Amino acid sequence: MVLLKPLTENDFPQLISWVDNERLLKEWSDPMFTYPLTTEQLHQYLQHANQPRKSEVFAYKALDAATGDVVGQISLAHLNWNDSTGRISSVLVGDEALRCRGYGQAMVKALLKIGFEKLGLRRISLGVYDFNSPAIRCYQRCGFHHIGTLRHVVRYQDEYWSSVEMSIMQHEWRQTGAETQAA
């Protein structure tokens, strides 16, 4: 359903147009980004990205396999090559009309395939805010397990957000047969 290709400078305008408010930026992004999202911030983010066995970040655009349209963005970050671990740091289906249609799940599955098969990771984790029920269900469908909740980790205006921490091990992913299902 989706193909992942490295995020490039040419993708910045579309990504910036999708992240059109401060709350969405806070929900989607790495703490290094501030609102409004700028090309300078994205350049810095990608400066050392997507280099096998060197980078701590692999950032991708997601393309609809049938149409070739860019539908989202996803990153695998905090890579620890010594421990063979990584962390999904952002998942965004850009157009609101395309959300809850399976793109997010397809993006995560494709990223797991890259992480486990191409990068040789043994564990991939993520954090998702506890109010984001659709994302939590998506990650569970992809095989992630709830490992705990970090309470009040982020402040947004007058709210404190808690993060549901989830992970999946390479052997769990293989047991689901996911490696044969992902594009």
Tens digit of pLDDT at every position of the chain (183 positions)? 899 999 999 999 999 999 999 999 999 987 889 999 999 999 999 998 998 778 899 999 999 999 999 999 999 999 999 999 999 999 999 988 888 889 999 999 999 999 999 999 999 999 999 999 999 999 999 999 999 999 999 999 999 999 999 999 999 999 987 665 554
Identity of residue 127: G
Domain ranges for the chain = 2-181
Q: Which two tokens stand for residue 20?
A: 């059109």
Question: Do residues 33 and 23 touch, judged by C-beta distance below 8 A?
Answer: no
What does the pLDDT read at residue 180? 57
Chain-wide mean pLDDT for the chain? Answer: 93
Q: Measured in whole angstroms, how far is the alpha carbon of residue 174 from the centre of its chain?
A: 20
> For 44-52, which contacts have Cβ atoms below 8 Å and span 24 or more sequence positions?
46/7, 46/8, 46/9, 49/6, 49/7, 50/6, 50/7, 52/118, 52/119
The CATH fold assigned to 2-181 is Aminopeptidase (3.40.630)
82 phi, psi to nearest 5 deg: -65, -40
What does the pLDDT read at residue 31? 80
